[in-house]
Amino acid sequence: MKHVYIIGSKGIPARYGGYETFVEKLTAGQQSPDIKYHVASRRNNTELSAENDVFEYNGAEIFSIDVPNIGPAQAIAYDIKALQWAIQNARDIKAKNPIFYILAARIGPFIRKYVKQIHALGGTYLINPDGHEWKRAKWPLPVRKYWKVSEKGMVKHADLVVCDNRKIEEYIRDEYCSSKPATTFIAYGTDTRPSSLSKNDATVENWFHEKNIQENNYYLIVGRFVPENNYETMIREFMKSDSQKDLVIVTNVEKNKFYQKLLQTTSFNQDKRIKFVGTVYDQPLLRYIRENAFAYIHGHEVGGTNPSLLESLSSTQLNLLIDVGFNRDVAHDAAIYWTKEDGQLSNGINMADQYSVKQLAENEEKSKKIIFNEYTWEKIINLYERQFLKNGISSFGEFESATKN
């Protein structure tokens, strides 16, 4: 039995978040009977974690971790405490060649001593560095500097760096070439099933009526309400466009400093087309909203393979994506690309409005083909299980298939 310890997500059952959804799908869709997953969960993640130190979910062992209330450093404390628990558990059960898979590069300055303990067990340490967390504008400069230092440490001591985007893999190899990191590319996945809801469902009728939105008559944005997702550019450029459609923004908007700054710089409240509609946690409803959008606008530029992008490619007929390597690596030629240059996105929106039914259908077919070929959860789960079960370990988890510089 291959024991795999997953650390870094908030835990499962998943309530939100890319890492949480990944772990949920990985465990729920398990194909091999030869893997036993052990997943860290924050004590406040769900009632199950609050009430149980250890419990079973999706066939995985979930271990609940208490995290002290120490502000932003909570995430670091959580990962360290979870890793300590995992290492001790692997000792207790005498796990043979266990794998410790850490999601996000938060504990780089502390990782070395734990890697020594992992290797003493005959184990392997894998890291998924996510995207460029150190570029996120939401973090103050000292935090961004910490993220960069931490990423370096996590990569330097890793037996394998798992990258969910080929551009992230290129970056890791180039940025840390002196460490000669072993890397592999395994993407994120997405659901391909259409929404279970129809036009006549009360949930659909009520939502569209309440928001005053017409099906197939809106551009859609879905994502966290943070500056690096380029809300200011998307809103300003939409306002410049000639489109008669709405811009529907599904996000956890709070009337905070960022919101007030947007209001001040764009005066979007004077444009009736701009509609902040809050969050949508009902997944069938969100899928239906995506499916019935005229087009999706994506401004994420610091992550790897973004879950929201995959969801839109699998369900929305046309996508307008900010032109960064991560997005081109996923969508190829099945999108309209834009930069932050003045007039770029507004011209793209005007062009999209002129697409014929045939052009829209052809684009939708291309984007869905990409998803079916590369990003289904079934394929991603299979790739992970093959990686976890590999026997080609020459020393402390150096995987045969990993690319060495």
CATH number for the domain harbouring residue 98: 3.40.50.2000
Other Cβ atoms less than 10 A from the Cβ of 243: the count is 20
Are 280 and 240 members of one domain? Answer: yes
> Judging by beta carbons within 10 Å of its beta carbon (0-12, 13-18, 19+), is residue 239 exposed, middle or buried?
middle
Q: Do residues 350 and 296 lie in contact, with contact meaning Cβ atoms separated by under 8 Å?
A: no
Domain that holds residue 312: 202-374
Asked if residue 237 belongs to a domain, the reply is yes
d(CA 212, CA 246): 10
Which strand ranges, in their side-by-side order, compose the sheet holding 124-128? 54-57, 60-65, 35-42, 2-7, 99-103, 124-128, 160-163, 183-185
Are 123 and 227 members of one domain? Answer: no
Are 298 and 365 members of one domain? Answer: yes
Are 352 and 383 members of one domain? Answer: no
Asked if residue 153 belongs to a domain, the reply is yes
Q: Per-residue pLDDT tens, the chain, 405 aa: give them.
A: 999 999 999 999 987 778 999 999 999 999 999 999 999 999 998 899 999 999 999 999 999 999 988 887 898 999 999 999 999 999 999 999 999 999 999 999 999 999 999 999 999 999 999 766 666 666 667 778 888 899 999 999 999 999 999 999 999 999 999 999 999 999 999 999 999 999 999 999 999 999 999 999 999 999 888 888 999 999 999 999 999 999 999 998 877 788 899 999 999 999 999 999 999 989 999 999 999 999 999 999 877 788 899 999 999 999 999 999 989 999 999 999 999 999 999 999 999 999 999 999 999 999 999 999 999 999 999 999 999 998 534 344 444 444 444
**pTM of the shown model:** 0.89
Q: Do residues 237 and 345 lie in contact, with contact meaning Cβ atoms separated by under 8 Å?
A: yes
- The helix (run of H) or strand (run of E) holding residue 374 is helix 357-374
d(CA 318, CA 333): 11
